[in-house]
Structure 1
């Protein structure tokens, strides 16, 4: 299995202006990774001949395989071929097969073909041409001083069809790509990215194959383990061994793998234990329970939730005492205590959660923005109340409170 260093170049001023999102580079990276090809660089360049030439020259110097998308159309600002001449030292010729396909397209649609459309049939001399079954401009492969160059149209539908049907089989044969790249994501909660990385630093420092990539996620920290092998089975065997080493150090924080979410993990544990859940939410406005009920099968666990945003709702519906609120306020440990206890009693659940706090924009009841209280109660045990100070936007504070709630619930269930 060869170790190939690849680069992807996207051509088009519309990409730089943000008028179009460059999904081609992401998709191509995934495809190349599946083939075991390492993508080291992404470049995006506008429709300017000098700048296109410059990025192509840079790619020639540092990469063994370069895929260029865009700039193969019929208009004057489609400059990819003309710019590449300066780098590849090849002349341009008309590919007769491609020209016939272009002419047939216009004839079929009853549209006169303008002369500039002949440009879409122009290829590099002695190139391997990949016909475009979804459009007109073909793809092509040329080799120059040890670097393989693949040129593809920028229209995603056309690019993907040529890549899937023609380029990938060509690359497998050309570069003897018999290997497989497999990966697995380990998901952690209750530990920060820097702390996690520090605890397994000795494993990261000794990595080669498989590799470890720490990533920040919406619901915790991720470790992406990737391995190359001749078969997927051998690749996953390598990952299994690495995962075991990681779990010996930080396994207690791992809540899921790949497509698991913290809410699906919590739901599965509670269902296995035949436990029920309720919540009383002020600050979070129902976000905590909404995440859980979005998981299929939530009705087996979730009894309900009371969103008690205003004081009178806390008093009349949740039966939080007016004396508690008068003395301590709605944003307080005492209020969270009564909320979590009362909602459990009302809904007769095994576990209950409560959320109250101030997400901003201004201080409330003398409590600064970011003040959060989360209550959790299991069975006949007394409620446990946790106080936090979160920073960020209003939405960020609310989301962090929800995330922390799931962390507390997960720890309780695991204990």
Structure 2
């Protein structure tokens, strides 16, 4: 079964927004075992939208469109899809009731054009929107094909697709698909791929597919069988094989578990508290930890010591160290990690210092140079990283590396 993704919106073509919907949908379809051969972005132009829909219907079993379902005049995706399928639009009573209730709840008058969102193609399954006003639809197209219409905002598209569209797509697929994700930290995608090339080349049942994430790599193992139990029996030996190849670089095989969640659980299980001292990351590490429920049980304190004066004042970094080695150095990272440990009384201290972009120390030190220190039980480990990318990417990857070092320290 093949699918095609069509993202509608002139603002995407102009670069005003980043098209994260296509990446999300591609990943989820791959997990369902549905092949995506084409992705198209088209502006809010009726003729061009109709053209890409008709072209897609000729070459794919499923079309998934995002955007253009709102109340304004240029929101025409639904109307054009209905036309391409030879269908009329009819009013959906529940969609209208939801619209009316929404505007009543926010105490705002509902303008007439909002009722446009309650109109749906006559032969479709309506996907009601729990996070917005525009419903989605699964339209029954000619030749047993499907056109899935989803709202453009990711906060609406993602839950609607996951909760309502995915079950429909699963039923369309013959057999049962089951997958597990193996998450690997601190290794590059190209290296990981070389280690599993034999498994990828087989492309049998199960399959293994690598996905690069910021600072980590995910391997999705997917099997198809007549029952879920049979599919699991195919998947788990492959997961065990990956464990044997990557060992403790694997931090989880749970779909929704993040690296920071693993770290927080490790801290909780040991009864440990952590304290952070951040320079170039500016609080991102603490922010990642705080995103995890239960972080209040393990995060003792966090310092953003961007300036040299702050490093000296709050962490006790020596003036001589800063003069001799600079703020971005192994020595400073070590004193930051040990200093935050002293200042907080925590069980594990982390110090991050580096150059996320131009404007810091010059000379031989270039943007992307980062030192991370982790101190626990009288032992301090400092690692040097030469990272690539813009300021935001360097900061994010630095946090990933810090989380990896924390996880390793807690495992010893």
Q: Same fold (TM over 0.5)?
A: yes
What is the correspondence of 1:153-172 to structure 2 with a 5 Å cutoff? none
- Post-superposition shift, 1:384? 2.4
284, 288, 303: which one aligns with 1:287:
284
Larger displacement relative to structure 2 (8-17 or 258-267): 8-17
Residue of structure 1 aligned with 2:313, choices 312, 316, 320: 316
**1:235 to partner: Cα distance:** 2.2
Residue number in structure 2 paired with 1:142? 142
What is the deviation of 1:253? 0.9
Tell me the residue number matched to 1:227: 223
**Aligned counterparts of 2:10 and 2:212: Cα–Cα separation in 1:** 31
Shift of 1:215: 0.8
Does structure 2 conserve the Cα–Cα contact (< 8 Å) formed by 1:186 and 1:224?
Answer: yes
- Structure with higher Rg: it is 1
Q: Which runs of 5+ in 1 are unaligned?
A: 86-91, 110-116, 124-128
Residue in structure 1 matching 2:191, options 181, 185, 195 = 195
* 1:219 and 1:262 in contact (8 A); partners too: no
Query: Does 2:357 align with 1:360?
Result: yes
For 1:40 and 1:387, how far apart are their aligned partners in 2?
A: 41
CA distance in 2, matches of 1:364, 1:39: 46
CA contact (8 A) 2:186 2:215 kept: no
Runs (5+) with no aligned partner, structure 2? 101-115, 129-134
**Counterpart mapping for 1:53-202 below 5 A:** 56=54, 59-60=57-58, 62-63=59-60, 129-130=123-124, 139-143=139-143, 148-150=144-146, 177-202=173-198
Distance 1:179 1:380 in 2: 55
How many Å apart are 1:377 and its aligned residue? 1.6
Equivalent residue of 1:317, what SS? Answer: helix
> Following superposition, which runs of at least 4 residues in structure 1 exceed 6 angstroms of deviation?
10-15, 17-35, 67-73, 98-102, 120-123, 131-135, 152-157, 164-171
Which residue is 1:114 aligned to? none
Alignment-derived partner of residue 378 in structure 1: 376
SS of 1:242's partner is helix
CA distance in 1, matches of 2:249, 2:187: 7
The 1:141/1:349 distance shift into structure 2, 3 A limit, reads closer
What is the aligned partner in structure 2 of residue 88 from structure 1? none
Name 2:304's counterpart in structure 1: 307
Match of 2:386 among 384, 389, 412: 389
CA contact (8 A) 2:181 2:255 kept: yes
| Distance (whole Å) between structure 2 residues aligned to residue 194 and residue 310 of structure 1 | 37
| Alpha-carbon shift at residue 198 of structure 1 (Å) | 0.6
What is aligned with 1:349?
346
In structure 1, distance between residues paired with 2:169 and 2:195: 43
Shift of 1:388: 2.4
Instruction: Pick which of 231-240 and 363-372 moved more.
Output: 363-372
Paired position in structure 2 for 1:207: 203
Question: Is the Cα–Cα contact under 8 Å of residues 176 and 225 in structure 2 kept in the other structure?
Answer: yes
Q: CA deviation at 1:13?
A: 7.0
Tell me what 2:262 maps to: 265
The residue aligned with 2:367 is 369
Aligned length, in residue pairs: 373
Q: TM-score, normalised by structure 2?
A: 0.71
RMSD: 4.6
Distance 1:69 1:181, change over 3 A: same
Taking the aligned partners of 2:318 and 2:25, their CA distance within structure 1 comes to 60
